[in-house]
Amino acid sequence: MDSTPGRPDQRGTTTPHTWDPGLYCEYAGERGRPFVDLVQRIAAEDPETVLDLGCGPGNLTRLLTSRWPGAAVSGLDSSPEMIEAARAADDRIVWEVGDLRTWAGEPHRVDVVVSNATLQWVPGHLDLLGPLLDNITPTGWLAFQVPGNVDEPSHTLRQEIAEQDRYAAHLAGVAVPSSHDPATYLERLVELGCEVDAWETTYLHVLTGEDPVFTWVSGTGARPTLQALPEPLRTEFATELRERLRAAYPAGPQGVVMPFRRVFVVAHKGTGA
């Protein structure tokens, strides 16, 4: 999801940045649909404990209380801004500021762990799957969704601009998202003893408003890059990115169509992990 070190612990960046809950929720409906699609495929019947790792502002975490009304639901995120927004919206859930990787390295016993659009910010997160499973009960569930659209103009144009000499010196160590294909996650989790359901979906988001793709990426994938730049370079970068995104995603009769591929994984430990 999306003044502090931002989400460096979960996302692995070395350059400070912050996350804006309001901007992140600008397209809450479109961002939330993959979460709903993911949770629907988790066949846990009556879990006692459910955790949302990388819960962001908590608007989606709250859906877990309806999905499993008898469960104790909690949310963890390394962004204080996100957790502050979550606490203000719902006090039924235990919200905590914390490092996803630190959590995975500590002893926990959770029945269902959900992680939505978070692991793509953790370098080498395939190696994190084993520790995450270690903190899930013997017949528990790990379910996550990551964007799989790094080859789309919404990412490649940002990278092309960032490689220009006037920007590159400021952008070393800036977080960029990365993920794997469904088959890669499936293979790793099967090796770890899980029954795995892995798939991908490409959503065709129809966006409205002025420069909607720029608004979308400035709240997520491009935000660390933009925040790392000093003025006036930040404004110059944003202007160029805005113009190039406008050309790559032209407006049509209904709005701007932005294809968005996402990768989903639901792993059940069963009795073998």
Give the C-alpha separation, 181 to 151, whole Å: 12
Mean pLDDT, rounded, of the chain? 89
Look at residue 10 in the predicted model and tell me its pLDDT.
39
In the CATH scheme, what is the code of domain 8-268? 3.40.50.150
Look at residue 110 in the predicted model and tell me its pLDDT.
98
**Angle between helix 233-248 and helix 153-162 axes, rounded to 10 deg:** 150
pLDDT (mean) for 52-57: 94
Question: Domains of the chain: which residue ranges?
Answer: 8-268
Q: What residues pair up with 130 in beta bridges, in sequence order?
A: none
pLDDT in tens, 2-50: 322 333 333 333 444 554 444 444 456 788 899 999 999 999 999 999 9
Task: For 259, list phi and psi in degrees, rounded to 5.
Answer: -65, 140
Across the beta sheet with 136-147, the strand order is: 94-97, 72-77, 49-53, 110-116, 136-147, 256-268, 195-207
Reported as a pLDDT band with limits 50, 70 and 90, residue 270 is: confident
- As given in the structure block, the two tokens for residue 138 are 């013997």
Look at residue 27 in the predicted model and tell me its pLDDT.
58
pLDDT (mean) for 80-94: 90
At residue 176's C-alpha, the angle toward residues 175 and 178, to 5°, is 130
Look at residue 18 in the predicted model and tell me its pLDDT.
53
pLDDT in tens, 214-257: 999 988 878 889 989 999 999 999 999 999 999 999 999 999 99
pTM: 0.89
Give the C-alpha separation, 224 to 247, whole Å: 23
Give the C-alpha separation, 199 to 145, whole Å: 10
Look at residue 23 in the predicted model and tell me its pLDDT.
43
pLDDT (mean) for 57-81: 94
Look at residue 17 in the predicted model and tell me its pLDDT.
53
pLDDT in tens, 156-169: 999 999 999 999 99
pLDDT of residue 194 exceeding 80: yes
Q: What residues pair up with 266 in beta bridges, in sequence order?
A: 143, 197
